[in-house]
Amino acid sequence: MKKISTRKKNLNQHTTFLGCDDWELNYFRSKFRATPASFLKQVTLPPSQRAIGEKTTVLSVFITTPIDEALLKQFPNVKYIATRSTGYDHCESTLLKERGVKVANVPSYGENTVAEMAFALLLSMTRKIHPTYCRIQDGNCSRDDLRGIDLRGKTLGVVGAGRIGQHAIRMGLGFGMKVLAYDPKRNAQLAKELGFQYANLSSLVKKSDVLTVHAPYFPSTHHILNKKNLSQCKKGMYLINTARGELIETEALYRGIKNGSIAGAGLDVLEDEASVLKPSWKPANKQEARIAQMNAELIRHPNVLYTPHNAYNTTEAIQRIADTTIDNILSFLRQKPKNLVI
C-alpha cells in the first residue's frame, strides 16, 4: 500500500468527502488526521450537515454526484474539487470555470481493470456463460442451445486507442484476433509495436465482429455510435461498452438488438443510466422517458448482459483511486495542484 505523507504547511482548509463506502471512510480518515475534514456516505450533502457545506473549501466526489448549481449552493465556498474518477462529465465545466473552481481527476487507475471487464462481458456472451449458469441452477445440465463461438480469427474493433483501449488491443491480439482501432490521434509507432491497424470509424463498424468502446465522453463524442453507422454494422456483431453510455445512441443499440444485427451487447454503462441506477429518478422530458423505457427493455433482453457501472470496481483499482485522490488534495493544499482538468 502506498504511503502518503500528510505533513506540510497550509493544511487548514476544510475537506469534505462525499459518497464514501466504509473502506474509504476509514482510509481517508487515516490520511487526513493533520487537516480538518468530513467524511460522508451520502452522495450529496444532507440538510442536517449544512454547516459542513458552508465551511468546505475542498470537495471530493465520485461520478454519482453531479457538480452543478444545486450542489454549489450547498458548498458556496468550495475552491477545489477532486473527483474520484477519470471521467469528469458529471462536472459542469462552464459553471465551475465561471466560479473559479479547480477540478482534478484520477488520470490513470484502471486501464487493465476496465479492459478486463470488457473481455469478461464478451466471453460471457460468446460462450453463453450466464444462460449456462442459470440452467445449472435449475438442475438442467443439457448443452442444447449453448454452443458458443471462437474469438480467434475474428476482427476486434476498438473505439478509442488510449490507455484502456491499448490494453483491450493487447488482449484481443492475445486471443488471436485481428485488431482494428479508431482514434482521432493516430500513433503509427504504437500500431507497429502492438500489431494492429487504424481505420476510420465507418470502416471499423462495418468490418468488426466485436466492437468495444473505450473513448472518453465529451460533447464531440456524444453518440459517436449512432443510427447511421450502427445500421451498417457487420451482422451478428457483438458490442461492448465499458466507457460511457452517452457514446452510443440508445435507439440505435435498441434497434440493433431487436432486429438481430447486433448479436449481443455487453453493457457496463447506459445513456441516462440514472433511470436504472436511481430508484427515485424521474424523467425531465419525453426524450429521457423514451430512453428510460428502452434501457429497461435492453437490460432484460436475453442478448444483453448488463452490469451497473462496475467495470472500475476491483480492489487494486479502488486503492489506486483513493491514493491518487489523496495525493491530488494534499498537493492542492500545499499550493502545488496536479492532474487539473478544469
Residues annotated catalytic, as ranges: 244, 273, 309
Beta pairing partners, 178: 155
Q: Which amino acid is at 251?
A: E
Instruction: Decide: 170 and 151 in contact? Cβ < 8 Å.
Output: no
Pseudo-torsion of CA 273, 276, 282, 287, nearest 10°?
A: 50
Q: What is the DSSP string of 259-272?
A: HTSEEEEEES--TT
- Report CA-CA distances (Å) from 286 to 183, 219, 289: 33, 21, 5
- Judge whether 341 and 104 are in contact, CB under 8 Å: yes
Cβ atoms within 10 A of the Cβ of 257, count?
21
Return the closest-CA partner of residue 287 out of 249, 242, 243, 231. Answer: 249
Residues 6+ apart with CB under 8 A from 120: none
C-alpha distances (whole Å) from 58 to each of 8, 61, 80, 321 are 17, 10, 5, 17
> How close are the terminal C-alpha atoms of the chain, in Å?
29
- Percent helix, strand, coil in the chain, to 5, is 40, 15, 45
Residue reference for cell 470496481:
313
Report phi then psi at 242, rounded to 5: -115, 20
At residue 69, the 3 state secondary structure works out as: helix
Q: Which residues pair with 197 in a beta bridge?
A: 180
Cell of 22: 466504509
